[in-house]
Structure 1
Amino acid sequence: MAERILNGSEVVLQALVDQGVEVVFGYPGGAVLPLYDEIFKQNRIRHILVRHEQAAVHAAEGYARSTGKVGVVLVTSGPGATNAVTGLTDALMDSIPIICLTGQVPTHLIGNDAFQEADTTGITRPCTKHNYLVKDSEKLARTMHEAFHVATSGRPGPVVIDLPKDILVAKAPYLEPSQVTHRTYNPIVKGDRGQIEQAIELLASAKKPILYCGGGVINSGSQACKILTEFTRMTGVPITLTLMGLGAYPASDKQYLGMLGMHGTYEANMAMHDCDVMIAIGARFDDRVTGNLDFFSPGSQKVQIDIDQSSINKNVPVDIGIIGDVGHVLEDMMKIWKAKQHRIDAKALDSWWDEIEGWRGKRCLSYKQPNDVIKPQHVIRRLHALTRDRKTYITTDVGQHQMWAAQHFGFEHPHEWMTSGGLGTMGYGMPAAMGVQVAHPDATVICFTGDASVMMNIQECATLKQYHLPVKTVILNNRYMGMVRQWQQLLHGSRYSESYSESLPDFVKLSEAFGFTGLTCNNPADLDDTLKQMLEIDGPVILDVAVDDKENCYPMIPSGKPHNEMLLGAETNGDEAIDSDEGMVLV
């Protein structure tokens, strides 16, 4: 086959097309103008013009997480690249496959402090899975295809390709994806059979087992989630999910204990603390899950299944560490379980479920909805009820509203929940929702946010308007940085240092200034009608809901405490649940 010669920008676009890319989120600048010129000449790839490069990465994250595809970002050199760093770090922490194309000054100017020059590969080395600086046109096509392999293989993550301007205009040979193989990076996907058999034997002998599952299950794909559901029901064991794992198992199922961790359910955290066998599947023992490591699940034997070898034994020592794609490992686990006709001791398992039902009886997510003020939990629960007959995707920003959404919006399927877990990035929600809506134009996309978080990337309202993206942004407005205020109340003597917003915009007028609909609600009696009105509007909407400004997010494991020392809200049932000045009780 004759060698195909293109200019560098054509090589980049052809590689994107051949890798199945349909949309790019970006913002132009001098260093990438040759690439934007080629974008102008074609119609195979759609470009979404964001208003800030951080938002471009978050939009690509929303697109990627809701589809299972790679999110692609295009930004210019210098500030374009540095503005993308927060999004890249977010994608690295949450294992989201992103390709970020960054412009760079011409190769002969690199290191000369040229206009809009930054050491992009140096800056992004700690916050990407891998990065490239292309200084040889001959290697451009290979680098593009390799980057997709790296971003999607093993534990997914962001990859930066830094593109000097002269490389984008120089002639370069084009290679098809089939002509490129990565010689060194080929992660293990099949788990060790002997270890899997040991794990199955351990589970079968358990008296108090639990499955602890995370975002790795969702990253493995919808089929992995189906196998997890079948395996869980077949064994009869309880299951809990991390913040990033929500949707991997149906929230309405009787074996689901809810989310675990700092703001997880009482029953999930108590079961994690008291279990005797823990099977961690695609979960990395994050500090927000484990609490105090010295007291974390002290009596259990632990199995960890993860495609990332570095995650095994990283935070918590485990008895069996299985390296492999969780979908493949779960498939083998189910086959072995069936072949050996394993059964967990029925009497012991019934006793374990009786204990769990006792913890469930506390109804740790209970709240009272008064007549004079809207509780934030109530907003989320009502929206969940009103969208059950729709294909609905949820994004959030970070803080109390994020935890309330995780607790109260029941996710039945994977890929419907987008949130910033590891980095906790305020400003994630609206641009992530943009990316989700681009990927799923006919779906209902709702962004839950707070009055502080929404201001971080409020300029993306212009993107929503330009591309007619009907995202519904619901602000749970308590005029505080809610989680900061909660911690100041509980840990710092109610000294609310700089956590109250003295000045906020009129969000209805702000919406109208951007050219779309704004709504407001401050009366519980009007909430359902307002939510229905929002959902019926064909276009973007910002709904500003005035909520109880002193409401705290419970349950809560205080920093440094173990799972069995939780703060519960005053509305919780049980002998220990009593009213107090702080509206909580330590149990």
Structure 2
Amino acid sequence: MPPSQAATADGAQAPDQAPSNGADAVIQILRRHGVDTAFGYPGGAIMPLYDALARQPGALKHILTRHEQAAGFAANGFARSSGRLGVCIATSGPGATNLITAIADAHMDSVPLLVITGQVPTGLMGTDAFQETDVLGLTLPITKHSYLVRRVEDLPGILEEAIWLAQEGRPGPVWVDIPKDVQLAPLPGASWASAETGVAHEAPALDEQGLAQARALLAEADQPIIYAGGGVVLAEAVEAFRDFVETTGAPVVTTLKGLGLLVADHPLNMGMLGMHGAPCANRAVQACDLLVVVGARFDDRATGRLADFAPHARVIHMDVDAAEVSKLRPPQVSVLGDLNRLLPALATPASTEVWRHHCAELRRVGDFRLPPEKGDTFPALRFLRRLSEQGNAQVHIACDVGQHQMWVAQFHGFGHPRRHLTSGGLGAMGFGLPAAIGAQMAHPSAQVINISGDGSFMMNVQELATLRRYNLPVKMVVFDNQYLGMVRQQQELFYEGRLAEVDLSDNPDFVQVAQAFGIPALRIEGVDSVDAAIEACLETQGPLLLHIPVAREQNVWPIVGPGMSNDQMIEEEVA
């Protein structure tokens, strides 16, 4: 048998062998691009692709989740934690629509995903056939691009372009909808041979004029602040950013997605800004005279009332995406491009010793603090702080959305932003457990922990079956206050205490739920149990659930109310 017709040792077709049909082409193109893992759920219109997987054992590691939304979130967690392309697969109709929340989350947070769905045969499209939905129309607003493949001859080229597009520039999800007959159709050899592997492009020249103007602003500033976000992570520019901070000497605030850009105890790290940010971070931004925005987008949760955000500051905005510049606040100088090139080019000493000392004093009196241990009946915050101190540098934390998400951001330090997985822009409950599954698949030997609330955990609780099936050593920590806590808090503060549909006091016994799935579980109550809980979390082999009851009235502090500026934070009253 000639080499071009040989099969690989694991049973898959060789990369240079022309695939027999469209479904085989999908598998081979994924392998060509180094994709080794996909998350999905089969069904009628995607069955040819699953048949291709069955005919090529070992071609791709497929993780069967128990809901398509979880497949999307798992691919999301895989991509966020590794920087690699995440792949999820589903069938037409409800399979595709169940993916939409997870893909919208990836779009909001710029996560590189390839989404592959089956569609009814081309001859039935437009007839309201069984499990037919207009996937192209549904997904254009939540993707970088969405394709409907109508001819098998076009499939290789579309897939190549989709894989490139998902990862180039500002990453994001790209959706490829493939009718069943296209998956089954024989693929002409010429179509396979002509498919380009990616799209080459030259990096644009540096904007020397913009950089010169930015350097001048840095030189003139007495009180600069660096405001950094998730764009630094997406650019794989963490080390370049850290060097930039050391050279400039300017204090740093970060967004939720920027946590970990500096280690938590770095002397220039003021912490997270915004709605639930550190008081010291918000006060420093309000006092600065220059705001150096690096890979951030003036999100409303970060800025509060935008008109009053950093009111005395001139702005330098650095980003790869021109659409973000001037979208909300026009800068004095904008510099577009790859942050790995821009940051070293802009690095120049800035700030003053007086300003750095002032910011250090702000941090001393305005950072997040644990309650006194004596009499502390709320172990969640202490658990997070001690987990941060005792966990090794490779621990990945996958959060759900709610009060616990903010407590993690406030009390758990991160050594790298890719170890903090959280639904930022969309704020999707149910994200945490499947995202942790994806991160564990990307990093089999790493410690992965899902921190969840009782409301969020119930949204994808069925993925306990996925953990058990693959025996993944994900640890789950459920903070249970028997409320939709963040909604309850805002109803108390801003709706005159009228509570509406937030009571979850009929929660199941989470320890028994986990045990029913064959997963060991422990209930942790009181501060005295915190160290034992962390030991169990870090030392137990295989999956484990820790149930931590939380006082129902516990709130997240500080909070910036709707329509308020960041210097109008509501802080906890201390008796």
When normalised by structure 2's length, the TM-score is: 0.94
Is 1:215 aligned to residue 247 of structure 2? Answer: no
Q: Which residue of 2 is the match for residue 281 of structure 1? A: 294
Q: Which residue of 2 is the match for residue 44 of structure 1? A: 59
Q: Which residue of 1 is the match for residue 119 of structure 2? A: 104
Which deviates the most, 277-286 or 543-552? 543-552
1:395-414 deviation digits (Å, cap 9, x = unpaired): 10001100110111111223
Q: How does 1:325-404 map to 2 (within 5 A)?
A: 325-334=338-347, 337=348, 343-344=349-350, 349-368=352-371, 369-371=373-375, 373-387=377-391, 389=392, 391-404=394-407
Contact 1:272 1:563 (C-alpha < 8 Å) held by counterparts: no
Q: How does 1:391-430 map to 2 (within 5 A)?
A: 391-430=394-433
1:422-452 deviation digits (Å, cap 9, x = unpaired): 0000000000000000111111101110011
Q: Which residue of 2 is the match for residue 582 of structure 1? A: none
Which residue, 287, 291, 314 being the options, matches 1:301? 314
Q: Which residue of 1 is the match for residue 196 of structure 2? A: 179
**Which runs of 5 or more residues in structure 2 are unaligned?**
5-15
Specify the SS of the correspondent of 1:475.
strand
* Cα separation, partners in 2 of 1:88 and 1:188, compared to 1, 3 Å: farther
Q: Distance in 2 between matches of 1:128 and 1:344?
A: 39
Contact 1:145 1:177 (C-alpha < 8 Å) held by counterparts: no
Return the offset for 1:542.
1.1
Specify the SS of the correspondent of 2:175.
strand
* Cα separation, partners in 2 of 1:517 and 1:390, compared to 1, 3 Å: farther
Q: Distance in 1 between matches of 2:519 and 2:436?
A: 16
Specify the SS of the correspondent of 1:58.
helix
* Cα separation, partners in 2 of 1:96 and 1:242, compared to 1, 3 Å: same
Specify the SS of the correspondent of 1:569.
coil
Q: Which residue of 2 is the match for residue 156 of structure 1? A: 171
1:118-171 deviation digits (Å, cap 9, x = unpaired): 000100111111000000111100000100111011110001000000000101
Which residue, 442, 458, 468 being the options, matches 2:461? 458
Contact 1:19 1:177 (C-alpha < 8 Å) held by counterparts: no
May I ask how many residue pairs the two structures share in their alignment? 557
Name the aligned partner's letter for residue 331 of structure 2.
V
**Which runs of 5 or more residues in structure 1 are unaligned?**
338-342, 572-578, 580-587
Which residue, 252, 266, 270 being the options, matches 1:253? 266
Q: Which residue of 2 is the match for residue 19 of structure 1? A: 33
Name the aligned partner's letter for residue 132 of structure 1.
Y
Q: Which residue of 1 is the match for residue 183 of structure 2? A: 168
Name the aligned partner's letter for residue 491 of structure 1.
F
Is 1:198 aligned to residue 201 of structure 2? Answer: no
Specify the SS of the correspondent of 2:461.
helix
Return the offset for 1:188.
6.1
Q: Distance in 2 between matches of 1:200 and 1:512?
A: 59
Contact 2:273 2:302 (C-alpha < 8 Å) held by counterparts: yes
Q: Which residue of 1 is the match for residue 11 of structure 2? A: none
Q: Which residue of 2 is the match for residue 492 of structure 1? A: 495
Contact 2:319 2:338 (C-alpha < 8 Å) held by counterparts: yes
Is 1:444 aligned to residue 447 of structure 2? Answer: yes
Name the aligned partner's letter for residue 149 of structure 2.
V
Return the offset for 1:34.
0.8
Q: Which residue of 1 is the match for residue 143 of structure 2? A: 128
Contact 1:364 1:555 (C-alpha < 8 Å) held by counterparts: no
Q: Which residue of 2 is the match for residue 30 of structure 1? A: 44
Q: Distance in 1 between matches of 2:197 and 2:524?
A: 56
Return the offset for 1:181.
5.2
Name the aligned partner's letter for residue 494 of structure 2.
L
Return the offset for 1:467.
0.6
Q: Distance in 2 between matches of 1:413 and 1:8?
A: 40
Name the aligned partner's letter for residue 476 of structure 1.
F
1:45-102 deviation digits (Å, cap 9, x = unpaired): 1000000111111101110011110000010000000000000100000000000001
Q: Which residue of 2 is the match for residue 67 of structure 1? A: 82
Name the aligned partner's letter for residue 557 of structure 1.
V
Return the offset for 1:272.
1.1
Aligned-residue identity in percent:
42
* Cα separation, partners in 2 of 1:280 and 1:557, compared to 1, 3 Å: same
Q: Distance in 2 between matches of 1:192 and 1:176?
A: 39
Name the aligned partner's letter for residue 360 of structure 1.
R
Return the offset for 1:354.
2.9
Specify the SS of the correspondent of 1:102.
strand
Return the offset for 1:328.
1.9
Is 1:272 aligned to residue 278 of structure 2? Answer: no
Specify the SS of the correspondent of 2:523.
strand
Return the offset for 1:485.
1.1
1:235-258 deviation digits (Å, cap 9, x = unpaired): 111011110111122222111000
Is 1:553 aligned to residue 556 of structure 2? Answer: yes
Contact 2:276 2:558 (C-alpha < 8 Å) held by counterparts: yes
Q: Which residue of 2 is the match for residue 575 of structure 1? A: none
1:12-56 deviation digits (Å, cap 9, x = unpaired): 001100111010000000111111011112213100000011111
When normalised by structure 1's length, the TM-score is: 0.92
Is 1:522 aligned to residue 525 of structure 2? Answer: yes
* Cα separation, partners in 2 of 1:288 and 1:189, compared to 1, 3 Å: farther
Q: Distance in 2 between matches of 1:178 and 1:110?
A: 26
Contact 2:27 2:59 (C-alpha < 8 Å) held by counterparts: no
